[in-house]
Amino acid sequence: MKRLLALVVAVGLVLGAIAIRGWASGDSGDEAGTGNEATPDGAITIVCDADLEAVCHELELSVDDVTVRVEEAAVTAEALSQANTGAADVDGWLVSQPWPGMVAERRDAAGQVPVLGSPSAALAVSPGVMVMDRERQRVLAANCGGEITWECVGEVAGDPWPVVGGEEAWGEIKPGEQPPDTSAGLLILGQAASSFFGTSDFASNDFSADPAFRPWFEKLARSVPDYTPPAGTPLQQFLVIPASYDVVGALEAQAGPAVASSRDRDRLTIAYPSPMLSAEVVLVPTSPAVSGESLVERLGEERLGEVLAGQGWRVQGISLAEGLDPDIDVGDSAPLPGAGVLDALRSLWIEVVR
Amino acid sequence: MKLRHLLSVLLAATLVTTSCSSGGDDEAAVDDVLGDPGDCIVVEMSVSSEKIELLTDLAATFNESENATVDGECVFVRPQSKASGGAMGLLLDGWDENTEGPRPVIWSPAASAWGSILNQRLADDGREPMVPDESSQFMLTPLVIAMPEPMAQALGYPDTPIGWADIFALATDPQGWASVGHPEWGPFRLGKTNPNFSTSGLNALIAQTYAATGKTDGLTLEDLSDPEVQAFAQGIESAVVHYGDITMTFLNNWYRADQRGTALTYASAVAVEEKSVIDYNQGNPDGVLDPGEEARPPEIPLVAVYPNEGTLYSDNPFFILEADWVDRQQAEGARLFEEFVQQPENQERVLEFGFRPGNPEVTIGTPVDESNGVDPNQPQTLLQVPEPPVLVQLLENWDEQRKEARVMIVLDVSGSMGEDAQPGGGETKLELAKQAAIDALDEFKDDDIVGLRVFTDQMGWEGNFLDLVEPGRIGDVREQLKNEIRGLQPLNGTPLYEVSGESFNQMVEDYDPARINAIILLSDGVNDDGDRSDDPQQYQDLLALLEDTTQGENSVPVRVFPIAYGADADLAALRGIAEASNAALYDASDPLTINKVFTAVVSNF
């Protein structure tokens, strides 16, 4: 029996590997390029951004005939950007904007036909936040003119704490940011650059047009410690070992509930830096012939909302999870920088850090 | 020392620790507790020794739970104890299940750095990584500088931050403790384990190097070649009492010294994990209470100094290995167990062992508190583990920077050494010991001074011993030492006490304060000088000599590291000799372990 099971598992793994290879190479065999027709009652597969892993696993458990695969949005985006036609083995991509837009822009620039269908309306929202130790927040805020912004953090990142009035024992000022390969990582990077430019309406040529930008950006990016191998995200690491970072960027959905249940909740504070930028979760079909709304319908809009809200996302009509500030109005969020601009910003990060 | 050499040493050290202390017993105990897995999916686990007891308990509970199922089949988690560096070496070089037990699905070393080094070495060999990109942290404990409370207070504790720079200043000040108004404490004495063997030693080396650079991350090869950084390292090392493979040696000796009222002159500071400070202050210096042993707090407690330059953690990761022997069901079972141990009720149990929970939802409470000399709000800054190439260079530099040693190897060549090492024939005990001693000579630094003395009686030698090689720079006499050892033959009796005393006196006479001064004393039998009537008095006189000379304000710290070799060695007498000189006994009751044991002994230098 065990041998039989092992054989079945092995065959499954091989088939899975072939499917993934097909995704990456675009060799889907779907000559018409129409992808799968998402049938309301058929089995579907969703690929999820790593920041939505918990949401997706809960969906898999609670919705019939749904299979999920979790990977960083950057991996999915790369595969979709290069695919010749469509993605034969998945039906939808649960991710936040502007990742789908980045795929569309890359394909357009390469003269390729669109591969994604129209995204669903935003299913949930979460603003970018900063998590800090209260005492260090107080010291840094005083140095930043009362309010901590990413621009200010970038100016002092990597400097010894005494430079801004902190204690020597705190070491250097260590920002914590996920690499811009996921929903949260890209949003926080975009928020930081928006903070520097004073607006989210900036262009990639501003990176060189403003001679102060590059040094500021390098200081910020290179001051993020690289703890290898990582124990989860910087936020997760920070909650286990507070000394690992000083200013951690994260989505409110990640930070709010985690800080509320943390043993150090009394020492920690969550700030909503200006300008407020928010991640919007969408479900995007991996075929232009399918609409995001039909996939949402298949998964159950209500169920999707409940699961997202349960994981700390703001969903209209559903009460907030513990740890989220009810006084924050995400309607005040600034528009996201353009997809192409964020793609260029991500490339710059990679150039500076890796 | 090249990395491959380092890995083999780590492996040897691990095996020594396993075979000489509790590893074999651990495995038996695990089987007793967990029972037969039957037809369940077995998830083998390799864990560092400090958490074997806890994880065995948790595995027993998990295995009985309803959640321990994959595809309808039961899951059976089975931990076995393997020290971190040793397990890494086995994963790298090929894990022989016949000698090392089952290959693990989950590997939980003491610190994540071991995973980085493994993947780096695999990559160097053109092989795929085994350690996943991410892992959970089961439990944590930071590296601290443990100091007797009065000494820390003399440096301004708890109000003034203390760090490696203060250690450097004291270590290099000719006045020692007199420079801060305490001449009665003598010179500053530092205890550090060998970074090639011990996670604490490795973390201490990294931390002191960062302190020398003023950085908290991004240590580079250029930093390591900076003369100021090298001078800082040599200054720190100059204060070292001796090195060794495990921190327990220091803690046990410190505790015994405390009971005698000489704790402040045995060591001034030792780099250990925070949990060891808790264990010590609770009266359990080695973290293990033997049957009938009662925990008795020390007279002078230790306090944990969290270096103000930052420190590192032992984070006890759970690596679910990406190896060809791990199938999907085992990996899934491993993930279930990983989730299980992160549950708050299970995470609270790590506190019982003095660790901090890896689940941030679980409060850090007793015993990680001020009453045990530690501060749960520390450390204030975390150091980054350097890139593997920097780590390797750091270790190579340490081989040159570590304190030099002056060592006399004293070997028993009594008739019993000619007996077979194992029933049924094969090599004799002496033949195995000779090979082990020859191999261990390569671990000495070229500038170490090493001599060779053999002993037996009725040979007409002066004092029942013969100096085959006078102490000399080993870089010059290594081949001579090897040749003399190769030529040894088993002879007559075992005048253990007499030779121990005379060798010790000679080392005291030639004591060099700039070096670690020590004797390696290998013996396979009880004292036998032809007259048994005076043995008890001889032994007491020997212990008094050792204690009077090596302990107290004006001590001359010559350490005697005995190796109890073979089943007939006088373990109790040799332990007494080790303890009287504030050293450690090494147990090679199984003659086949002598090679590993010799390597471990030489790790003290």
- Asked whether the beta carbons of residue A229 and residue B384 sit closer than 8 angstroms, the reply is no
* E strand map for B438-547: 449-455, 465-473, 516-523
Residues A29-34 have a mean pLDDT of 34
| Candidates B159, B217, B342, B368, partner chain A, best to mutate (most A CBs within 10 A) | B217
The second-level CATH assignment, the architecture, of A126-278+327-353 is: 3-Layer(aba) Sandwich (3.40)
The answer, yes or no, to whether residue A33 has pLDDT greater than 60, is: no
Q: Is B431 or A86 the better-scoring residue by pLDDT?
A: B431
Share of chain B above pLDDT 70, in %: 95
Name the residue of chain A whose CA is nearest to B388's CA. Answer: A228
Which has the higher per-residue pLDDT, A69 or B11? A69
Interval B177-195: pLDDT, tens: 999 999 999 999 999 999 9
Q: Do B381 and A170 touch (CB under 8 A)?
A: yes
Quick check: is B36 in a domain? yes
Amino acid at A101: G
Across the interface, whether the CB atoms of A170 and B313 are under 8 A apart is answered no
In a shared domain, residues B308 and B342: no
Residue B276 counted as domain residue? yes
Residues B455 and B346 in one domain: no
| Sheet arrangement for strand B516-523 | B465-473, B449-455, B405-412, B516-523, B558-565, B586-588
- The reply to whether A300 touches chain B by the CB within 8 Å rule is no
Instruction: Tell whether the torsion through CA atoms of A213, A224, A312 and A147 is positive or negative.
Output: negative
CATH of the domain at B549: 3.40.50.410
pLDDT exceeds cutoff 90 at B477: yes
- In B, minimum Cα distance to A232 occurs at B134
- Report pLDDT for A39: 47
| Residue B435 and residue B473 in one domain | yes
* B363 contact residues in A (CB cutoff 8 A): 263
Asked whether the beta carbons of A287 and A34 are under 8 A apart, the reply is yes
The answer to whether residues A286 and A91 touch, using CB atoms and an 8 Å cutoff, is yes
Q: Choose the mutation target among B118, B219, B380 for the interface with A, i.e. most A CBs under 10 Å.
A: B380
Confidence of residue B98 (pLDDT cuts 50, 70, 90): confident
Mean pLDDT of A11-25: 41
Query: Is B358's Cβ below 8 Å from some Cβ in A?
Result: yes
- Is pLDDT of B236 > 90? yes
**Quick one: pLDDT band at residue A100, thresholds 50, 70, 90?**
very high
Cβ of B379 under 8 Å from any chain A Cβ? yes
pLDDT at residue B9 above 50?
A: no
Answer whether residue B342 is part of any domain.
yes
Determine whether the interchain pair A171/B310 forms a contact, defined as Cβ–Cβ distance below 8 Å: yes
* pTM score over 0.90: no
Is B366 touching A (CB cutoff 8 A)? no
Q: Is residue B567 part of a domain?
A: yes
**Interface contact A162, partner B, CB < 8 A:** no
Give the confidence band of A14 by pLDDT, cuts at 50, 70, 90: very low
Q: Are residues B421 and B546 in the same domain?
A: yes
Partners of A71 in the beta sheet?
A49
Beta carbons of B131 and A239 less than 8 Å apart: no
Domain for residue B447, yes or no?
A: yes
Give the three-state DSSP class for B74. strand
Together in a domain, B268 and B204 = yes
Domain membership of residue B136 (yes or no) is no
Cβ of residue A9 closer than 8 Å to a chain B Cβ: yes
Number of folded domains in chain B? 3
- Whether residue B135 and residue A231 make contact (CB cut-off 8 A), yes or no, is yes
Q: Which residues are CB-neighbours of B532 under 8 A, at least 6 positions away?
A: none
Candidates B566, B170, B119, B174; CA nearest to B385 is B119
The domain in which residue B241 lies consists of 141-313+385-397
The CA distance from A133 to A271, in Å, is 11
| DSSP H helices in chain A | 2-25, 53-62, 73-82, 99-109, 134-143, 150-156, 183-197, 206-209, 213-222, 234-240, 252-260, 292-299, 301-310, 339-353
Say which of B133, B161, B363 has its CB closest to residue A168. B161
To the nearest whole Å, the CA of B4 is away from the closest chain A CA by 21
Q: Are residues B199 and B115 in the same domain?
A: no
pLDDT in tens, A140-194: 999 999 999 999 999 999 999 999 999 988 999 999 999 999 999 999 999 999 9
Answer yes or no: is B422 within a domain. yes
Task: For residues B344 and B430, state if they share a domain.
Answer: no
Residue B341 sits in a domain whose CATH number is 3.40.190.10
For the question of an ipTM over 0.90, the answer is no
Instruction: Tell whether B561 is covered by a domain.
Output: yes
Mean pLDDT over all residues of chain A? Answer: 89
Q: Are residues B425 and B496 in the same domain?
A: yes
pLDDT tens by residue, B530-565 = 888 999 999 999 999 999 999 877 789 999 999 999
B residues 136-155 closer than 8 Å to A (CB): 136-137, 140
Q: Are residues B225 and B263 in the same domain?
A: yes
Q: Dump pLDDT digits (tens) for A199-258.
A: 999 999 999 999 999 999 999 999 999 887 667 899 999 999 999 999 999 999 999 999
SS3 B39: coil
B30 and B54 fall within a common domain: yes
Q: What is the pLDDT of residue A87?
A: 60
Q: Are strands A124-133 and B190-191 parallel, antiparallel or unpaired?
A: unpaired
Instruction: Say whether both B44 and B68 belong to one domain.
Output: yes
Q: How many CB pairs under 8 A join A and B?
A: 87
Is the CB of A243 inside 8 Å of chain B's CB atoms? yes
Shared domain for B211 and B303, answered yes or no, is: yes
Quick one: pLDDT band at residue A88, thresholds 50, 70, 90?
low
- Enumerate the β-bridge partners of residue B70: B73
Tell me the shortest Cα–Cα distance from A179 to chain B, in angstroms: 14
**For residues B179 and B234, what is the distance between their CA atoms, to the nearest angstrom?**
20
Percentage, residues of chain A above pLDDT 90: 82
